[in-house]
Amino acid sequence: MQRMVRLFNAIHIATVYLAKALLVAMTLIIAVHVFMRYVLRSGIHQSEELALLFAVWFIFIAMSIGVKQNLHISINILPPNTHPKVNLILSKLKDLVIIAISVVMFIYGIRLVQFTMRSIMPATRLPSGILYMVLPVAAVLMFYDSLMDLLGVETHDAEVDRALGGIEVIDE
């Protein structure tokens, strides 16, 4: 089990670096495109498609990172002094919902990739399926993190934070 945890932690670290690179690349592409269009009166015809590709990949990678770090939107409808058992049940229910969503996302993500591989993006001439390849990958990461949380398996998140140069949060 610890071998699998280390593998997924390495994957998570790689996805954070990929997300950072995608965000920087997307920002640069858009900035260069705007400069060229409005200052030089020309443009890079692939820039819009590349920015879209990077944005889609960034969003789904960020979503999987958000599940790992418990950053997704939640609604607190119960008072803070609710019985710990109720909080535990709600936490497990949240994990089950995310697992169900990730399974659906994986199945239909695979179908979407297969279906769109037959079409070509007009500017870059890349298969359209490349745009959606991140869906099944993000779904697997979300499934793994929610399952580990559901089962109460220690995933050594502090080690991932240290590897990324983040600040280690100490629960009081």
Q: Tell me the sheet residues that pair with 120.
A: 127
Q: Tell me the sheet residues that pair with 127.
A: 120
Window from 63-67, 146-150, 167-171 with minimum mean pLDDT: 167-171
d(CA 51, CA 56): 9
171 pLDDT higher than 70: no
74 pLDDT higher than 80: no
- Whether this prediction's pTM lies above 0.75 is answered by yes
- Mean pLDDT over residues 33-58, rounded? 91
